[in-house]
Amino acid sequence: MSYLENVNSPNDIKKLDIQELNELCAEIRELMIDTVSKNGGHLASNLGAVELTVALHKVFNSPSDQIVFDVGHQCYTHKILTGRKDDFASLRTEGGISGFTRPSESRHDIFSSGHSSTSISSAIGLAKAKSLNGDKGKVIAVIGDGALTGGLAYEALNNSGNENNNLIVILNDNNMSISDNVGSMAKNLNHIRTSPKYFTFKSRVRRALARLPRLGLQVSRFITLTNQTLRKILYHSTMFEDLGFRYYGPIDGHDIEALIDVLSVAKVHNHSVLIHINTVKGKGYEFAEKNPSKFHGIGKFNIETGEPISSGATYSSVFGDYLCELADKDKRICAITAAMSTGTGLVGFSNKYPQRFFDVGIAEQHAVTFSSGLAKNGMIPFFAVYSTFLQRSYDQLVHDVAMQGLKVVFCIDRAGFVGEDGESHQGVFDTAYLMSVPNLTVFAPSSFDELKDMMYQAAYRESNAVAIRYPRGSEDMHIDGYKYERADYDIFGDSTKEKCIVSFGREFHNCYNALEEIDNAFAIKLNKIKPINPSVINALKDAKEVYFFEEGIRSGGVGECFGSLIAESGLNIKFKHICVNDEFIRQASVESQMKAYKLDKDSIVKTVNQD
């Protein structure tokens, strides 16, 4: 009998016993592995959170009790249990369900979440609102998978206090450096403390003592003080209790009975609770358990072998390999990542130069300021970061790097459309905020060779901060007969023609391919997008129409800056900016996203020819 077949809402699992729940967990894992092998997605983190999520929905009543998943990439079981099982095959596809939590999909998804370390802050706000409204429902923040390395999580913990009586924080610890309890006595006592019978007995004793005048209150305070003192002796980590939480753990995160017990205790608690559980990232799939980083976010793969279906050089791998080449010859070269060494191509560098490799955890703000310190004392730091995550460190980029006149090289991966990862991960905002930063040069390579050359320029030909932004995946094409000569821009075709197409980075290839099907047109490829060399306007003196195609946001983007240069020049030119308007980009393939925003080759031809 398939238990999963009969689960269409959280209520359907409340009548299942422990053995049946374990069978259900096994079936959920099978569905996850099968779906992600076809669609790609976050596998290892989700496999590790299966029992936890099942236990949460067994004990609590979503959405009256609100569950907030940090990052959102450990929510697949939650989606399956909350009415999206039959749609799960559409995970991360165009028009399908999101790979992250999304309130528009389900009332059980409280927030859209794709970035880390936000859950506790959100949960505190939710809990406070419930308290103000007289709502006794619980709020549960599920944080883990490295998210507790982010500073926002600590800011939230610091502001949680004792007053959030309906707040529960679950730390899903899958190999983070948080101390275990000392010795078997502590573990046995922890087992007793998480027993619902013990908790009920303790509550009854306290109520009985409260009825005794004077003496009862004194005895109750003495017991509480003694209890706290014993916990400090028996446990290494008292940080959470010092911050006002009742701390339970560590709990085996794959023991569903133990999870149900401790969650049942937390549910009736009249105090903020933190539950620390240990899980195995990739649990239940051998390849993911052995290599959780590889299966954290993975494309389509062969279930039998665990190997990706497609492979080959990518911008990330070319960046990592060439950085090793630079580091071979220059001991000042350092690499910094914020918990993304695999995704940014730095695994080879970390193995070859461990003393010059720094993984700071999910802490982009710290990464930038740390890099400024390296630069100040003579090193050449390369900070490799996804475009969508660099957003978190804008202030540090401005204040601690650019304003100081320091040379930090920002290697911005996943710039532009990223496809199926959806709204939270699209790299279309970095151009807009980078264009506003003084003392910063921004390059946009269109090929692997250009990426390497621009890395060299950043290290040895620029005196201030440099950003190099490049897309996810492989290069689209080479332009026959063209060689990048470190010019700020290049012109393709006869600049005396009336129509000009302008672009940069990956998008230029679509423009170049469209050029042969457009009458009376030439093209300009911007290699340095900040600052834009004003001499480029000289190439437009015979142009009547300029079309700027940008794989980025309109407001503050490169196209707006280019249009401003035209306006200031006094040239009578019709200017049209084709880009992403004021909106978030839904999940779809990159090819489909290009078409939707009229940035694909056929749309470019149609746009320019029709005008």
Closest alpha carbon to 323 in 343, 338, 345: 345
Q: Is 568 a catalytic residue?
A: no
Task: Give the CATH number for residue 131.
Answer: 3.40.50.970
Q: Is 30 a catalytic residue?
A: no
pLDDT score for 410:
98
Indicate whether 417 and 279 sit together in one domain.
no
Better-predicted residue by pLDDT, 478 or 418? 418
pLDDT per residue over 44-103, tens digit each?
A: 999 999 999 999 999 999 999 999 999 878 999 999 999 999 999 999 999 999 999 999
Q: Last residue of a domain, which of 235, 250, 278? A: 235
> Considering the domain boundaries, does residue 420 fall inside one?
yes
Indicate whether 26 and 157 sit together in one domain.
yes
Better-predicted residue by pLDDT, 487 or 149? 487
pLDDT per residue over 390-423, tens digit each?
A: 999 999 999 999 999 999 999 999 999 999 988 9
> How many C-beta atoms surround the C-beta of residue 167 within 10 A?
28
Indicate whether 500 and 436 sit together in one domain.
no
Within 13 Å, how many C-alpha atoms sit on residue 200's CB side? 5
Q: Is 392 a catalytic residue?
A: yes
Q: Dihedral sign for Cα 552, 554, 555, 560, please.
A: positive
Rounded to the nearest 10 degrees, the angle between the axes of helix 448-460 and helix 315-329 is 40
Distance, in Å, from the CA atom of 440 to the CA atom of 467, rounded to the nearest integer, reads 7
Indicate whether 71 and 96 sit together in one domain.
yes
Confidence label for 477 from pLDDT (cuts 50, 70 and 90): confident
Closest alpha carbon to 456 in 322, 337, 589: 322
Indicate whether 422 and 541 sit together in one domain.
no
pLDDT score for 560:
97
Distance, in Å, from the CA atom of 177 to the CA atom of 182, rounded to the nearest integer, reads 15
In the numeric block, the tokens 């995160």 are attached to: 253
Indicate whether 89 and 73 sit together in one domain.
yes
Indicate whether 135 and 41 sit together in one domain.
yes
Indicate whether 64 and 124 sit together in one domain.
yes
- From 58, 84, 193, 281, the catalytic residue: 281
Indicate whether 518 and 555 sit together in one domain.
yes
Asked whether 319 and 470 are in contact (CB, 8 A), the reply is yes
Within 13 Å, how many C-alpha atoms sit on residue 173's CB side? 18
- From 138, 392, 407, 528, the catalytic residue: 392
Indicate whether 224 and 83 sit together in one domain.
no
- Report the number of distinct structural domains present in the chain: 4
Cα 316 from chain centroid (whole Å): 17
> Considering the domain boundaries, does residue 248 fall inside one?
yes
Task: Give the CATH number for residue 582.
Answer: 3.40.50.920
Q: Domain of 339?
A: 315-469
> Considering the domain boundaries, does residue 565 fall inside one?
yes
Question: Which residues does 186 contact at the CB level (< 8 Å), separation at least 6?
Answer: 234, 235
Asked whether 96 and 109 are in contact (CB, 8 A), the reply is no
Distance, in Å, from the CA atom of 558 to the CA atom of 570, rounded to the nearest integer, reads 19
Asked whether 410 and 397 are in contact (CB, 8 A), the reply is yes
- From 364, 450, 475, 551, the catalytic residue: 364
pLDDT score for 145:
74
Asked whether 382 and 411 are in contact (CB, 8 A), the reply is yes
Better-predicted residue by pLDDT, 159 or 252? 252
pLDDT per residue over 285-338, tens digit each?
A: 999 999 988 898 888 999 999 998 877 899 999 999 999 999 999 999 999 999
User: Would the pLDDT of 233 be above 60?
Assistant: no
> Considering the domain boundaries, does residue 321 fall inside one?
yes
Asked whether 504 and 527 are in contact (CB, 8 A), the reply is yes
In the numeric block, the tokens 């060299």 are attached to: 456
> Considering the domain boundaries, does residue 476 fall inside one?
no
What is the pLDDT averaged over residues 498-508? 97
Indicate whether 134 and 269 sit together in one domain.
yes
Would you state the structure tokens that stand for residue 138, as one six-digit string?
């619980």
> Considering the domain boundaries, does residue 587 fall inside one?
yes
Distance, in Å, from the CA atom of 505 to the CA atom of 511, rounded to the nearest integer, reads 11
- Give the 3-state DSSP-derived string for 58-104, with helices as H, strands as E and coil as C: HHCCCCCCEEEECCCCCCHHHHHHHHHCCCHHHCCCCCCCCCCECCC
Q: Last residue of a domain, which of 235, 256, 278? A: 235
Side chain identity, residue 377: N
Indicate whether 502 and 517 sit together in one domain.
yes
> Considering the domain boundaries, does residue 299 fall inside one?
no
Q: Last residue of a domain, which of 205, 235, 265? A: 235
pLDDT score for 146:
79
> Considering the domain boundaries, does residue 481 fall inside one?
no
